[in-house]
């Protein structure tokens, strides 16, 4: 089975590379932005004609939420238009698509975890572009998995986890917001779920939510990192309710995972458990 992974130099792509090493019977092709740019339609067409993958895991995206406010056209080009073209190619070449989306398709006004059936209402450019990408997929093909996730972090790349570790190492005081409630999600856990879908060759297509269990603020996330690294007495950590950003953020974006749990019979770790595990792994 041939599996194409786009955007493989991002944190989720790198986690997939890490965990796919144990799946020697599968032929993974990990493509970066430089080797396969989703916005270049002719290059994408030629790639599919040559390789005809059985699965495509789309990890490529414009994910800078703040910058998207000033680069709306680029965000929609990558997260919507290119995704539409990718869905058409997957449909044409009978490729199953696994696409990553976001909790930011919701406005955050609910006070309970969001179900897949809840009404989308993004409040920033990033969320709007990702929701349009979702819509293009569902209107173009049937053999897809759209996986909404939240607050991704890992040992790879630029993310909240690595930023807090670096600032703590440099003895920087931290002011972290309590304004938003969501779920930190270890990208390694998401990668394992994606590989599970591929290994089982599931046909339970559609839209699913996948994040770690539980809920937290960004302050809770930072505090646990410092506690586990025994830095909570050394680093000044202050909670702030109002933290100015260009892009609006949903105040509550916890995702309900019951559909994925009942459909695939998986176990999803609590965010605290998964964070502690990664901290021990990275040392």
Given a cut of 80, is residue 272 above it in pLDDT?
A: yes
CB 153 within 8 Å of CB 12: no
Given a cut of 80, is residue 4 above it in pLDDT?
A: yes
- 221-269 pLDDT per residue, tens: 999 999 999 998 889 999 988 778 899 999 999 999 999 999 999 999 9
- 103-135 pLDDT per residue, tens: 999 999 999 999 999 999 999 999 999 999 999
**Alpha-carbon torsion 280, 211, 131, 133, what sign?**
positive
Given a cut of 90, is residue 183 above it in pLDDT?
A: yes
And the tokens for 250?
């949903």
Which whole number is the average pLDDT over 188-192? 98
Which whole number is the average pLDDT over 17-28? 95
Average pLDDT score over the chain: 96
Given a cut of 90, is residue 198 above it in pLDDT?
A: yes
Given a cut of 80, is residue 56 above it in pLDDT?
A: yes
- Dump strand ranges (E) for the chain: 2-6, 27-30, 55-58, 96-102, 144-149, 152-153, 174-177, 181-182, 185-186, 206-209, 216-217, 237-240
What confidence score (pLDDT) does residue 3 get?
Answer: 98
d(CA 77, CA 62): 9
Does the annotation mark 126 as catalytic?
Answer: yes
d(CA 52, CA 50): 6
Which whole number is the average pLDDT over 39-43? 97
Burial of 137 per CB tally in 10 Å (0-12, 13-18, 19+): buried
pTM, rounded to two decimals = 0.97
- Residue written as token pair 């937290």: 216
Q: Which of 62, 126, 208, 210 is catalytic?
A: 126
- Residue 281: Cβ within 10 Å count: 9
Q: How confident is the model at residue 193 (pLDDT cuts 50, 70, 90)?
A: very high
What confidence score (pLDDT) does residue 241 get?
Answer: 82
What confidence score (pLDDT) does residue 178 get?
Answer: 95
- Residue 176: Cβ within 10 Å count: 19
Which whole number is the average pLDDT over 53-80? 98
d(CA 206, CA 41): 25
**Helices 160-169 & 218-228 angle (0-180, nearest 10):** 50
Buried b (16+ CB within 10 A) or exposed e, 217-243: bbbbbbbbbbeeeebeeebebebeeee
Q: How confident is the model at residue 163 (pLDDT cuts 50, 70, 90)?
A: very high
CB 187 within 8 Å of CB 275: no
Could you tell me what percent of the chain has a pLDDT over 70?
100
What confidence score (pLDDT) does residue 100 get?
Answer: 98
């Amino acid at each position: 089975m041939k599996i194409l992974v786009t955007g493989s130099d991002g944190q989720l792509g790198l986690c997939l590379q890490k965990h796919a090493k144990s799946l020697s019977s599968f032929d993974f092709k990990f493509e970066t932005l430089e080797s396969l740019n989703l916005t270049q339609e002719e290059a994408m067409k030629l790639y599919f004609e040559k390789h005809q993958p059985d699965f495509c895991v789309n990890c490529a995206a414009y994910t800078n939420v703040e910058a998207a406010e000033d680069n709306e056209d680029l965000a929609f080009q990558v997260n919507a238009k290119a995704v539409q073209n990718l869905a058409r190619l997957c449909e044409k070449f009978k490729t199953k698509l696994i696409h990553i989306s976001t909790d930011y398709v919701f406005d955050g006004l609910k006070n309970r975890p969001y179900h897949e059936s809840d009404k989308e209402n993004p409040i920033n450019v990033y969320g709007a572009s990702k929701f349009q990408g979702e819509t293009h997929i569902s209107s173009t093909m049937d053999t897809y998995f759209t996986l909404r996730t939240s607050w991704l972090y890992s040992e790879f790349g630029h993310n909240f986890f690595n930023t807090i570790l670096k600032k703590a190492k440099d003895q920087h005081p931290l002011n972290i917001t309590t304004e938003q409630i969501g779920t930190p999600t270890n990208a390694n856990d998401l990668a394992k779920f994606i590989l599970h879908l591929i290994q089982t060759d599931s046909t339970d297509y559609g839209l699913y939510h996948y994040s770690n269990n539980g809920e937290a603020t960004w302050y809770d996330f930072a505090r646990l990192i410092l506690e586990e690294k025994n830095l909570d007495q050394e680093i000044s950590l202050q909670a702030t309710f109002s933290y100015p950003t260009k892009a609006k953020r949903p105040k509550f974006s916890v995702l309900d995972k019951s559909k994925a749990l009942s459909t695939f019979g998986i176990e999803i770790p609590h965010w605290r458990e998964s964070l502690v595990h990664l901290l021990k792994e990275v040392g």
